[in-house]
Structure 1
């Protein structure tokens, strides 16, 4: 009989902001068919929500649109072919009763008490669930899983419970896990006491991005959550990033410069903030901004929120606009040649006189969009959703249907 392994469900772990992201790995001993061996099943649980962070005499609320879980494996492997955590997953809402487990199945630790209390105060309904798309990269000893918010919500919310990552023979091994985020993954959902109420949408968007860059660099590195299992090997300490004392005062100076700027031009405000419009606004909120005629050609604007923005005559040629939100935006006369708009939400936007030649609109939502004199030549419209479109004649509809577009009753 092989020796019984100790219960190793509670691994060394650290969650910097458990009410934003709580992560736990479980190492569960299981019987093996092979003589004199035992297996370890490694399961992952993640809970996503929003967090209020004190900053500059006020506070900011943020959540995650995605992130990357990276594993560093010593003396063990997870081949790509064996990875089951891939695809679209529904994050379950947590209710008080779900957070109390029996003594034989303890999932949630002290780290989740704050999450439990917040959910007790405000029960989450089924409609508050989000869907998360998970893909995998990396080799057998450095596997990684990329988490990305699917359409419909601003940030990830809910629980992914006990998902299987891999199984290993119990021997000398070490598993280091880190959930890392970039500025594109962080989304500000609220702010209080940080700036006057009468600032313009352009100022507001640039200010939010300044705070996002600060949080990513000074608060969320090298990882927002990490965990370590060392079995018959010495543990390894997790490196923490030292916060530069001057960083917050420099942030305050930058905020003051944007508030007092004598221009409302988006490009000029971004320059004052040392931000590149083509590179630094992916995943950001540009709701209600005035961006008419701005050059965003070849820009990375994946998951950016343009709801209600004035985007007339903007150059989005060759831009990455995957999963971007354009609800109610004015894209009249915009040039979107060869842009990637896959899974973008354009509901009730105006594309009058817009040029989408060669654009990728696969899976995009174009319900109730103004399509007067819109150019779709060479565009990929596979599974793109149309319906109740002004400016749409019968010839255009037939042509789009033949190319794979879907027409719905609205």
Structure 2
């Protein structure tokens, strides 16, 4: 097969090179090999600069008149096979960020699959795609003043992530196209000139920043409505440091991978919500409703769960060092390998009960 195109929209963020190499002793079978480099992309947006990287993305293979013979075993934490009934195309998940830190490891000649060419019109398309929740904004300069409130910052940070998703990550981040030797058709390739669209989108973003900054409102739900954001779905992966969500109904919401460090979450309803890998260190969840909530791998160090309802929640692998557990309802809670230490409100009987259920006490 012959490479027809290799296009990377954000090469400093993700640089993909795909190789399709004939298998030994075959005429129509090929190995698909992946090379990837990760890093931070810096873009000038409006009058400022933004550095961003990706927590995760997906590599999807489009196979036209090509048979997938096998998906190869992979021995790296950076890439994993996605086996899902909802994925009609061969898909791999890429995870270059662990615990908010970009891994320095790159991938070289990772064999993903073996494919078989079925006829002379065969075409293979590989795309890396990602959504807003996977965008990690590591540095934002010059877009708004530092005296902005935590609630307004959280709203604008996700609007900026949305802007990056729409203008830098669509329809893909990286793409490679291969065709059979006698089917090469360069005329099929075209890329839109995005300059005009980017100018329009930049003006919209600028007006939104100015409007939110000048607004007399600071209620999270009201600001989210103004910005056209859904509080239940649009803040996964967001920076919500120090926000005030006290008393809000966020049942069944998705705040996974978000940063809620030092947030006021008193009496907040997070029942059945997804708070997986969320940073909640120093947050006040006193009286919060967390029944059935997924808090797997969450960081709850020095947080308060006093009077909170955590019945049936998943706290597996969570860090609860110095967490206030006074009058906390912990019945039927999954605490497998959850870390406890120096917790107010835990008597010896409850401590032994948690240990039996898989908790770790330091």
Does TM-score exceed 0.5, indicating one fold? Answer: yes
Q: 2:342 aligns with which of 380, 388, 395?
A: 388
* Residues 191-237 of structure 1 deviation map (CA, whole Å, 9 limit, x = unaligned): 11111121112111111111111111122100011111112323442
> Given the alignment, which residue of 184, 196, 202 partners 1:234?
184
1:301-312, aligned counterparts within 5 Å? Answer: 301-312=255-266
Q: State which of 258, 265, 271 in structure 2 corresponds to 1:317.
A: 271
The separation in 1 between residues aligned to 2:76 and 2:283, in whole angstroms, is 28
- Mapped partners of 2:33, 2:20: distance in 1: 7
Q: Cα 1:64–1:262, aligned 2, differ >3 Å: closer, same or farther? A: same
Comparing 358-367 with 315-324, greater Cα deviation is found at: 358-367
CA contact (8 A) 2:58 2:94 kept: yes
Does the CA contact (< 8 Å) of 2:30 and 2:114 recur in 1?
yes
Determine helix, strand or coil for the equivalent of 2:162: helix
Partners in 1 of 2:350 and 2:79 — Cα distance?
33
- 1:221 and 1:167, CA in 2 relative to 1: closer, same or farther beyond 3 A? same
1:343: which partner in 2?
A: 297
Q: Which residue of 1 aligns with 2:99?
A: 152
Cα distance, 1:154 vs structure 2: 4.7
Aligned to 1:125: none
Q: Secondary structure at the match of 1:253?
A: helix
1:140-180 CA-partner distances (Å, limit 9, x unpaired): 97211123466522556541222111123467432101111
Q: Aligned partners of 1:343 and 1:315: how far apart in 2?
A: 20
Equivalent residue pairs, number: 354
Task: Work out whether 1:202 is the aligned partner of 2:147.
Answer: no
- Give yes or no for the alignment of 1:213 onto 2:206: no
Contact kept? 1:155, 1:187, Cα under 8 Å: no
Match of 1:71 in 2: 61
Structure 2: any 5+ residue segments left out of the alignment?
none
1:82 to 45, 49, 71: 71
3-state SS in 1 of match to 2:66? coil
Q: How far has the Cα of 1:55 moved from its partner?
A: 0.9
Q: CA RMSD in A?
A: 2.4
CA contact (8 A) 2:57 2:134 kept: yes
Q: 1:28 Cα shift?
A: 2.4
Tell me the distance in 1 between the aligned counterparts of 2:259 and 2:193. Answer: 30
Map of 1:102 onto structure 2? none
Which moves more between the two structures, 235-244 or 278-287? 235-244
Q: Which of 153, 157, 166 is 2:113 aligned to?
A: 166
Q: Distance in 1 between matches of 2:307 and 2:79?
A: 34
- The verdict on how the C-alpha distance between 1:151 and 1:49 changes in structure 2, with shifts beyond 3 A counting, is closer
* Equivalent residue, structure 1, for 2:241: 287
Cα distance in 1 for partners of 2:262, 2:79 equals 26
Q: Give the whole-Å Cα distance in 1 for the aligned partners of 2:90 and 2:155.
A: 35
* Residues 135, 169 of structure 1: alpha-carbon distance in 2 compared, 3 angstrom cutoff: closer
Whole-Å separation in 1 of the counterparts to 2:23 and 2:260: 50
2:16 is the counterpart of 1:27: no
TM-score where L is the length of structure 2:
0.90
Change (3 A) 1:166 1:365: same
Supply the distance in 1 between the matched residues of 2:72 and 2:191 (Cα, whole angstroms).
28
Q: Contact 1:342/1:361 (CA < 8 Å) preserved in 2?
A: yes
**Unaligned ranges ≥5, structure 1:** 90-131
Give the whole-Å Cα distance in 1 for the aligned partners of 2:212 and 2:88.
46
The 2-side partners of 1:238 and 1:400 are apart by: 59
Q: Which residue of 2 aligns with 1:222?
A: 171
Distance 1:158 1:240 in 2: 33
Report if aligned partners of 2:38, 2:96 keep a CA contact under 8 Å in 1.
Answer: no
Q: Note closer, same or farther for the CA distance 1:21–1:150 as it changes in structure 2 (3 Å cut).
A: closer
Q: Is the 8 A contact 2:7 2:175 kept in 1?
A: yes
Match of 1:95 in 2: none
SS at match of 2:34: strand
**Alignment CA distance shift 1:157-1:222 (3 Å):** farther
Displacement of 1:11 after TM fit? 6.4
Q: Deviations over 1:34-62 (max 9, x none)?
A: 5xx36422111222211111111111111
User: How far off is 1:385 after superposition?
Assistant: 2.2
Tell me, yes or no, if the aligned pair for 2:68 and 2:116 is still in contact at 8 Å.
Answer: no
> Residue 315 of structure 1: CA displacement?
1.0
How many angstroms does 1:294 deviate by?
Answer: 2.1
- The change in CA–CA distance for 1:339 and 1:141 in structure 2 (over 3 A counts) is closer
8 Å contact kept, 2:79–2:92:
no
